[in-house]
Amino acid sequence: MSVEKSRVFIVDDDDAVRDSLCLLFKTVDIEAIGFESGDKFLLEFDADWQGCIILDIRMPGTSGLEVQKLLSERDCTLPIIFITGHGDVPMAVEAMQLGAFDFIQKPFRDQELMDRVAEALSSNEENKEEVLQKRHVTERYATLTPRETEVMQCVVKGQANKVIALDLEVSQRTVEIHRARVMEKMAARSLAALVRMSLLLEN
């Protein structure tokens, strides 16, 4: 997985608002890119992008809420901060229910926005870790044989080797061998680590 630099993607149809936000981020050495419409952003959007999105909720053409829905269909995990105007609170609430990171009302204090963006960026970092980890675990899981997969599923349920042997109608010794293989292939140092991995796979 290529490691993309964190950036702030600003989607707002108002030239002055967009441009002034870019300048504001420049003062804190955060790279910001402006998009004048939701459609332009969706056209260029790449799932590998890292950072966060600042999205105007009211725009001509594709609205902020619609951009959010389309992004989630494309498995975008970037946190979205909505910019809302006077009287847009019901829309903002809907956006939050759909998984938006936060919303901020116009006009806002620069520090307030900076703080939210900082939070969003660190949330994206954590998220990025998790995504990377999940990807590695999934890759390793795919190398297990069908029998090893069965054994792993029983192990993470907390079943003892004796019970697993009875269930799978094999000797206890065979179970031990499979179990050692699973730990090795999954690069799990302990049973707890293996359980964590299985949880990651379930999500």
Partner 1 sequence: MTETTQAPIEPSGAVQLDPVLDAMVESMIVIDEQGLIERINKATTDMFGYTTEELVGQSIGLLMTGPDKSHHVDYLERYRKTGKKRIIGKGREVQAQRKDGTKFPADIAVGEVRSGKLIRFVGLIRDLTEHRQVEEQALRQREEMVNVSRLSMMGEMAAAMAHELNQPLTAIANYAAASIRLLKQNKDSHEDILGALEEIVSQTHRAGEVIRRTRNFTKSGEAINEGTSLKKIAAQIRSLAELDTKANNIRLNWNILDDLPPINVNSVQIQQVILNLIRNAVDAMQDTPPDKRIITVRAKLTAPQQIRLEVRDEGSGVSENAAKDIFNTFFTTKTTGMGMGLAICRTIVRTHGGELGFHNNNRYTSSEGATFFFTIPTQVNR
Residue 153 tokens, joined = 């599923």
Q: Rule CB under 8 A: choose which of 1, 46, 75, 87 binds partner 1.
A: 87
Residue 11 β-bridge partners: 35, 55
3-state secondary structure 51-65: EEEEEECCCCCCCHH
Q: What are φ and ψ of residue 80, in 5° steps?
A: -115, 125
- Asked if 181 interacts with partner 1 (CB under 8 A), we say no
Smallest separation, CB 140 to partner 1 (Å)? 45
- Asked if 108 interacts with partner 1 (CB under 8 A), we say yes
Q: What are φ and ψ of residue 9, in 5° steps?
A: -100, 115
Determine the residue type at 69: K
- Asked if 1 interacts with partner 1 (CB under 8 A), we say no
Q: Rule CB under 8 A: choose which of 36, 69, 70, 85 binds partner 1.
A: 85
The answer to whether 85 and 58 have CB atoms below 8 angstroms apart is yes
- Asked if 118 interacts with partner 1 (CB under 8 A), we say no
Smallest separation, CB 111 to partner 1 (Å)? 8
- Asked if 138 interacts with partner 1 (CB under 8 A), we say no
- Asked if 90 interacts with partner 1 (CB under 8 A), we say no
- Asked if 31 interacts with partner 1 (CB under 8 A), we say no
Q: What are φ and ψ of residue 37, in 5° steps?
A: -155, 160
Q: Rule CB under 8 A: choose which of 44, 61, 89, 135 binds partner 1.
A: 61
- Asked if 28 interacts with partner 1 (CB under 8 A), we say yes
Q: How many alpha carbons fall within 13 Å on the CB side of residue 4?
A: 17
Q: Dihedral through CA 111, CA 124, CA 129, CA 148, nearest 10?
A: 150
Q: Rule CB under 8 A: choose which of 19, 115, 129, 130 binds partner 1.
A: 19
- Asked if 107 interacts with partner 1 (CB under 8 A), we say yes
Residue 35 β-bridge partners: 11
**Which residues would be at the binding site for partner 1 (CB under 8 A)?**
14, 16-17, 19-21, 23-24, 26-28, 58-63, 66, 83, 85-87, 106-110
